[in-house]
Amino acid sequence: MDPMKAQQLAAELEVEMMADMYNRMTNACHRKCVPPHYKEAELTKGESVCLDRCVAKYLDLHERLGRKLTELSVQDEDMMRKAAVGSG
Amino acid sequence: MAAVQVSESDQIKQFKEFLGTYNKVTENCFMDCVKDFTSRDVKPEESSCSESCLQKYLKMTQRISMRFQEYHIQQNEALAAKAGLLGVPH
């Protein structure tokens, strides 16, 4: 695959991933912060503050795990390459 | 020509998202509000619960969207600062 195309595809996949992440984050913070009581239509102050914090933490965690995951998969790749060379 | 194409596919994407939200909120509020299966009629408390549920859900998604955008603006500013684009005397 030519590098331009590969880059474009990677960018598209990343956009898709962000959209998916956004949906999951919405779900997660909904479950964590909004108890299913629904006595009123407004968000309470507590729920609002919880949502703000939830979004911040979710995005932070997403970043950290992304970095760690990249690190681990690079290590993994190295290991496999060395194993392939060794068995050749 | 290209601009028209972009806005059409954006519109479709928006509509698709709207439909998705519609389904999600229905399922969600049904699960949380509808408890009485002794009859087919939606009870008044189930109806008012669902309505509050819907409104609350929409307010929640608005707030999350706001915070998410703020986060990205912050990220972009941080990147721009790193690249030395901010604070350039002019």
Considering only CB atoms, B56 lies closest to which of A26, A43, A55, namely: A43
**Interface touch A48/B71, C-beta < 8 Å:** no
| Domain A3-34+45-86 grouped into CATH 1.10.287.810 | yes
pLDDT tens digit string along B45-78? 999 999 999 999 999 999 999 999 999 999 999 9
Integer Cα distance of B60 and B34 in angstroms? 21
**CA-CA-CA-CA torsion sign (B34, B39, B42, B43):** negative
pLDDT tens digit string along B12-37? 888 888 898 899 999 999 999 999 98
Considering only CB atoms, A26 lies closest to which of B29, B64, B71, namely: B64
Integer Cα distance of B54 and B57 in angstroms? 5
Integer Cα distance of A20 and B18 in angstroms? 15
| Domain B22-82 grouped into CATH 1.10.287.810 | yes
For residue A70, the one-letter residue type is T
* 0.90 surpassed by complex ipTM: no
Closest CA–CA distance from residue A71 to any residue of chain B (Å): 22
B28 interaction partners in chain A (CB closer than 8 Å) = 30
pLDDT tens digit string along A59-68? 999 999 999 8
Q: Write down the pTM of the prediction.
A: 0.78
- How far is residue A67 from each of residues A60, A61, B72, measured CA to CA in Å? 11, 10, 18
Integer Cα distance of A36 and A5 in angstroms? 46
Q: What are the extents of the domains in chain A?
A: 3-34+45-86
Locate the chain B residue with the closest alpha carbon to A19.
B17
